[in-house]
């Protein structure tokens, strides 16, 4: 058993001195780490440490010096990528071939935002008035409260933290209670990189800890990744405190295959959309819209490949699909499969717990495909966050657009076609924050990412992701030397 405390003001607060909880390895179905449940007083201490660091070290530091530290963090992540990947795969059952590349991407994001740290500009604005000089600056907020989900703890953190730090903010981070280990291990690298104490603090625990962060008057902005249900609670609480929030929430993303698509590419895109990461990804292409003319061909190809997906030890590089990340999630996925059967969808393949050599202990679920799905079924409307695909047949572009937009979500959409005009027609009609054409699940440092509707608001990654952690200050300097009428506004 590993043991972790809280990381506050550059010090480890021992796990044993307060109440604790356990993190489970979903492959072995055994507890493997003991963690500390932070109290309200400890959340307060973490916020105060961040406020102090903001005032005394991080904000006063120039951008180039901040960049140097962020680059050192990136180098240490690369050096420790194998170990971090191993720990994350142990904590949440995601296959090592994905967590390994995720760690390199985490480092990439630190480097990407390090590049911005000394290039955050305002602008000079010409006014109607002569003799007034107007300019803007981009200021950090202060302390950012970061709350993340369990499916990719360090990647989700890296979508937020390096941008926040580059802009001069400090942070209090709360990872999911289901997978906190790598976020805590990461703090050891921050220390090694020379990040001043208190710039990043980590408090662990469940909803109460997150709630205390959102309510804390010292937290100036909240950046959240998680479910729409919790997103709504956080937005409401933040609203009470008039605090800005960024919400990265769930999805029910349509992956649309037209009859003129390259079917080899589209099949790979559909598989990546739903079975990569065991479907436990916000951008899962969980609704596959297929033109009637190629429907049977696509469903046949997908079923064949789905049956051959290699499940097993997440730490084995040959494994293609890992476990459900935790027991409540396993139960939710199985319940969603049952409800699709009850609603009359046609089970093509899967539909049960996966058993057999190397699988019996872990929370494995067969890659599952339903055809004959209509957009009003629960399998088409509710985010499952698991390896469950609903295939919906369509005939016209208009029908595809109506089905694609016909959920409460709007995170991503995929379009597969060799007709450029069709792709260009589809892009403005799809109501989602991301549109992929002839690719799916493509994640880059430069491109902004985020949703519309119940998938949230605000953007991460790219320049937009940086600007989310800054606020604009406008400055006017009157150099006319005139005395003005105190009772008339000057414009």
Mark whether 248 is an active-site residue: yes
- Rounded Cα–Cα distance for residues 401 and 380 (Å): 15
By the 10 Å C-beta count (0-12 exposed, 13-18 middle, 19+ buried), 288 is classed as buried
Residue of 282, 320, 383, 460 marked active site: 282
Residues 6 or more apart whose CB falls under 8 angstroms from that of 399 comprise none
Cα–Cα distances (Å) from 66 to 58, 88, 94, 222, 437, in that order, read 8, 27, 32, 22, 37
Site membership for ligand NAD, residue 225 (CB under 6 A): yes
Instruction: Figure out which of the listed residues 4, 150, 186, 416 binds ligand NAD, where binding follows CB under 6 A.
Output: 150
The percent helix, strand, coil of the chain (3-state, each to 5) is 40, 20, 40
Site membership for ligand NAD, residue 91 (CB under 6 A): no
By the 10 Å C-beta count (0-12 exposed, 13-18 middle, 19+ buried), 171 is classed as buried
Site membership for ligand NAD, residue 226 (CB under 6 A): yes
Specify whether the CB–CB gap between 143 and 444 falls below 8 A.
Answer: no
Rounded to the nearest whole angstrom, what is the least distance from the CB of residue 138 to ligand NAD in the complex? 24
Specify whether the CB–CB gap between 84 and 182 falls below 8 A.
Answer: yes
Site membership for ligand NAD, residue 234 (CB under 6 A): yes
Site membership for ligand NAD, residue 88 (CB under 6 A): no
> How many residues at the interface with ligand NAD, by CB under 6 A?
28
Report helix, strand or coil for 465. Answer: helix
Beta bridge partners of 20: 36
Residue of 37, 98, 248, 468 marked active site: 248
Closest CA to 297 of 371, 242, 230: 371
Instruction: Figure out which of the listed residues 153, 198, 218, 250 binds ligand NAD, where binding follows CB under 6 A.
Output: 250
Site membership for ligand NAD, residue 20 (CB under 6 A): no
- Report phi then psi at 34, rounded to 5: -105, 130
Scan residues 331-390 and list those touching ligand NAD (CB under 6 A).
383, 385
Rounded to the nearest whole angstrom, what is the least distance from the CB of residue 469 to ligand NAD in the complex? 16
Scan residues 384-423 and list those touching ligand NAD (CB under 6 A).
385, 411
Scan residues 182-221 and list those touching ligand NAD (CB under 6 A).
206-207, 210-211, 214
Q: Count CB-CB contacts under 10 A for residue 40.
A: 14
Mark whether 282 is an active-site residue: yes
> Half-sphere exposure of residue 142, counting CA atoms within 13 Å on the CB side?
15
Site membership for ligand NAD, residue 233 (CB under 6 A): yes
Of the two residues 98 and 313, which places its CB atom closer to ligand NAD in the complex?
Answer: 98
Using the contact rule CB under 6 A, the part of the chain among 14-22, 189-197, 243-251, 338-346 near ligand NAD is 243-251
Site membership for ligand NAD, residue 102 (CB under 6 A): no
Our CA angle for 417, 419, 424, nearest 5°, is 90
Instruction: Figure out which of the listed residues 249, 302, 334, 445 binds ligand NAD, where binding follows CB under 6 A.
Output: 249
Rounded to the nearest whole angstrom, what is the least distance from the CB of residue 205 to ligand NAD in the complex? 7
Scan residues 268-287 and list those touching ligand NAD (CB under 6 A).
282
Of the two residues 97 and 174, which places its CB atom closer to ligand NAD in the complex?
Answer: 174
Site membership for ligand NAD, residue 301 (CB under 6 A): no
- Rounded Cα–Cα distance for residues 449 and 262 (Å): 26
Rounded to the nearest whole angstrom, what is the least distance from the CB of residue 139 to ligand NAD in the complex? 26
Specify whether the CB–CB gap between 170 and 199 falls below 8 A.
Answer: yes
* DSSP string across 447-464: S-B--SGGGEES-BSHHH
Rounded to the nearest whole angstrom, what is the least distance from the CB of residue 222 to ligand NAD in the complex? 9
Instruction: Figure out which of the listed residues 94, 174, 295, 459 binds ligand NAD, where binding follows CB under 6 A.
Output: 174
Chain positions contacting ligand NAD, by CB under 6 A: 147-151, 156, 174, 176-177, 206-207, 210-211, 214, 225-227, 230, 233-234, 248-251, 282, 383, 385, 411
Active-site residue set: 248, 282
């Amino acid at each position: 058993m590993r043991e972790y405390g809280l990381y506050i003001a550059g010090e480890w607060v021992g796990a044993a001195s307060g109440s604790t909880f356990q993190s489970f390895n979903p492959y072995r179905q055994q507890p493997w780490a003991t963690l500390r449940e932070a109290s309200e007083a400890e959340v307060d201490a973490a916020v105060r440490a961040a406020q102090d660091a903001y005032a005394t070290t991080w904000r006063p530091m120039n951008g180039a010096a901040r960049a140097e530290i962020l680059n050192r963090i990136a180098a240490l992540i690369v050096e420790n990528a194998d170990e971090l990947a191993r720990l994350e795969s142990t904590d949440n059952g995601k296959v090592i071939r994905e967590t390994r590349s995720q760690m390199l991407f985490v480092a990439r994001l630190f480097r990407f935002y390090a590049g911005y740290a000394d290039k955050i500009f305002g602008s000079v604005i010409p006014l109607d008035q002569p003799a007034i000089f107007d300019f803007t600056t981009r200021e950090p907020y202060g302390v950012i409260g970061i709350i993340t989900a369990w499916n990719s703890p360090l990647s989700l953190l890296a979508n937020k933290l390096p941008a926040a730090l580059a802009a001069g903010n400090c942070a209090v981070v709360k990872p999911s209670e289901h997978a906190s280990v790598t976020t805590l291990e990461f703090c050891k690298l921050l220390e090694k990189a020379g990040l001043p104490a208190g710039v990043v603090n980590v408090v662990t625990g469940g909803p109460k800890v997150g709630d205390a962060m959102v309510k804390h008057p010292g937290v100036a902005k909240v950046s959240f990744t998680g479910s729409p249900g919790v997103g709504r609670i956080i937005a409401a609480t933040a609203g009470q405190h008039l605090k800005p929030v960024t919400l990265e929430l769930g999805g029910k993303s349509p992956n649309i295959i037209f009859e003129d698509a390259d079917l080899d590419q589209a099949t790979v895109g559909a598989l990546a959309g739903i079975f990569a990461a065991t479907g436990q990804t916000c951008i899962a292409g969980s609704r596959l819209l297929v033109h009637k003319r190629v429907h049977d061909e696509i469903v046949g190809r997908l079923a064949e490949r789905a049956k051959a997906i290699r499940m097993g030890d997440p730490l084995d590089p040959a494994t293609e699909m890992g476990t459900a990340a935790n027991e409540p999630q396993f139960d939710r996925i199985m319940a969603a499969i049952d409800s699709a059967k009850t609603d009359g969808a046609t089970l093509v393949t899967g539909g049960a717990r996966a058993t057999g050599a190397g699988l019996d202990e872990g929370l494995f679920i067969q890659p599952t495909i339903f055809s004959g799905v209509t957009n009003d079924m629960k399998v088409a409307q509710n985010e499952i966050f698991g390896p469950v695909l609903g295939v919906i047949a369509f005939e016209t572009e208009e029908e595809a657009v109506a089905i694609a937009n016909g959920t409460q979500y709007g995170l991503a959409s995929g379009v597969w076609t060799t007709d450029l005009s069709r792709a260009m027609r589809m892009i403005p009609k799809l109501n989602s924050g991301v549109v992929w054409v002839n690719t799916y699940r493509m994640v880059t440092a430069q491109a902004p990412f985020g949703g519309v509707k119940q998938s949230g608001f605000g953007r991460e990654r790219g320049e937009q992701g940086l600007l989310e952690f800054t606020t604009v200050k406008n400055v006017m300097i009157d150099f006319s030397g005139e005395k003005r009428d105190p009772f008339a506004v000057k414009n």
